[in-house]
A and B are shown apart, each in its own frame.
Chain A
Amino acid sequence: MSEKILLEAQNIHVNYGAIQALSGFSLKLMENEIVSVIGANGAGKSTFMNALMGMVKIAKGDIFLDGYPLSSQNYKVVRSGLSLVPEGRRIFAPLTVEENLKIGAFTRKDVSELKEDYDWVFSLFPRLQERLKQYAGTLSGGEQQMLAIARALMARPRVLLLDEPSLGLAPIVIREIFRELKRVNERGVSILLVEQNAKQALLLSHRAYVLQTGRLLKEGLSKDLLEDRDIKAAYLGQSA
């Protein structure tokens, strides 16, 4: 992990009509870092991810990548190096696994290097290679999540964003996926993770932010937050 700031969100406000989904949330992601944002349902976690990706309009606030303002247009954000694994996986069910990966590489100009990335995502998730010609809709939930991650990686992102990757998956599959995410990070991809499953997220990430009804509640090193009495009580399902 370096000390260079890769992605920075400053004072982000997002409103849905009269409802304030985010009221002044700020976050920094260093190069090669894994940062998680934890919080209850409705805290604004997904809204924050969508705001970064240019999927929802920001009422106030700025986002910088490498110190430069990030576009607010979705496809330009992807081209500049952010890739989101959306909540609920959202794989393209009527397309094959191979086509899903291909569309993930839509922005890539360096077609000659694609082979390398296919090999890499297959080394992370070998099951995808076995199912290459299968329709994505026929995969199990865990495999669909793997495909969603692999698809996002095919864009060769600098920042991989994941929105609730553990949702609806069996604990053993969650552990497998989080282990591979660590390997992704070791290849130099920074990761921003949003999770209700606070324990898994804190175990994986270096630092974390706790979001409550659109505002920052707490931030710090993940290992400290794992020991924090309030966090334990509120998010880790343990009494202090």
Chain B
Amino acid sequence: MAFTFSTLIQQIINGLSLGSVYALIAVGYSLVYSILLFSNFAHGGFLVVGGYACYFLLTQWGYGVAVSMTGALFASGLTAVITERLAYKPIRERTSITLYLLIASMGVNIIIENLFVVTVGGRIRALPQNTFPTGVFNLFGGVALSASDIISLVTAVIFLSLLQIFLNRTRWGLAIRAAACDIRTAGLMGVNVTFLISLVFFVAGVLAAVGGIFLSVRYSLYPQLGSITTKAFVAAVIGGLGSLPGAVVGSLILGLAEMLTAGFISSQMRDLVVYSLLVIMLLIRPAGFFGKTISEKI
């Protein structure tokens, strides 16, 4: 593919838009990791719940976009809280070895995926065309800026800013930051740690649902859509697991890398580049850009 300036701009826009969706997913991932020190592979499941909730609220029950999205965010957030209570809390109370949580989260992911396969079927669905404005703005030199790109970017910025405000300006936000540093000592400050963990899972679930809805719009909706979380996981590792700014930066790098590869090399090389980036990062800087240096990462 020939190198043109307009292709570069176009792919940067696409990359930022994709990266912002990854960021929503990766930040939730990292948030859970920062508190409980395990990679929650059920995160993809939360995203799928959000996607389907939005789909059914829109198509089956005929609600408007705003109600459907809000409903989807709650559905995903609650799924995350229930998952934590049923699958993780009993393990947390018995052992401090986080490997068990990791394995449980893989199990939960498979359960959620298959619940959708069994109940609504595995076929690929699409959110209705009119969910978001579909206009395309033509910029200079044939660069196209689609309304959905703008919306996903703006929404991601809004949600990530809200998260930032919540973490830095509120009492519970401070408690979460303290717990990310030392959860036992946070308990000594009178913080109800069980509630705090539920809160973190709720927030992570909500962010995953936002990501899930945008992914359903960009691609399509199917029970295995959650597997895209692997990308967000890679982004979180590149940025430094447990670090929220790291998750955002890693996601943007990943989105840009994917789209620039697709634009200038080949679409099929996208994943190869992404995982090569991960391997290179782990070799040069295993803690990621912003990560704490800790011995165990997975």
Once the chains bind, are B178 and A95 in contact (CB under 8 Å)?
yes
Could you mark each residue 68-108 of chain A with 1 if its beta carbon is under 8 Å from any beta carbon of chain B, else 0?
00000011001100011010001011110001001110110
Whether A106 touches B177, Cβ cut-off 8 Å, given contacts A86-B185, A92-B182, is no
Q: How far is the CA of A93 from the CA of B178 in the complex (A)?
A: 9
* Least Cβ–Cβ distance between A207 and chain B, in angstroms: 25
Once the chains bind, are B189 and A55 in contact (CB under 8 Å)?
no
The stretch that binds A, out of B190-198, B222-230, B246-254, B258-266, is B190-198
Once the chains bind, are B187 and A103 in contact (CB under 8 Å)?
no
Once the chains bind, are B182 and A106 in contact (CB under 8 Å)?
no
Once the chains bind, are B190 and A106 in contact (CB under 8 Å)?
yes
Central interface residue in B174, B181, B182, B189, by most chain A CB within 10 Å: B189
Once the chains bind, are A78 and B189 in contact (CB under 8 Å)?
yes
Question: Which secondary structure characterizes the binding site on chain B?
Answer: helix
* Least Cβ–Cβ distance between B168 and chain A, in angstroms: 10
Q: How far is the CA of A75 from the CA of B171 in the complex (A)?
A: 15
Residues of A within 8 A of B187 (CB): 55, 74-75
Q: How far is the CA of A19 from the CA of B182 in the complex (A)?
A: 26
**Which residue of B is nearest A79, CB measured?**
B190
Whether A75 touches B182, Cβ cut-off 8 Å, given contacts A99-B174, A102-B174, is no
A53 interface residue (CB < 8 Å to B): yes
A155 interface residue (CB < 8 Å to B): yes
B108 interface residue (CB < 8 Å to A): no
B186 interface residue (CB < 8 Å to A): yes
Whether A103 touches B184, Cβ cut-off 8 Å, given contacts A75-B193, A95-B177, A95-B178, is no
Q: A92-B185, A103-B189, A106-B174 are in contact. List 20 more A-B contacts (CB 8 A).
A: A55-B187, A74-B193, A75-B187, A78-B188, A78-B189, A79-B190, A83-B188, A84-B188, A90-B185, A92-B177, A92-B178, A92-B181, A95-B177, A106-B171, A106-B175, A106-B189, A107-B189, A151-B189, A155-B189, A155-B190
Question: Can you show 23 pairs from A to B with CB atoms below 8 A apart?
Answer: A55-B187, A74-B188, A74-B193, A75-B187, A75-B190, A75-B193, A78-B189, A83-B188, A90-B185, A92-B177, A92-B182, A92-B185, A93-B181, A94-B181, A95-B178, A103-B174, A103-B175, A103-B189, A106-B171, A106-B174, A106-B175, A106-B190, A107-B189
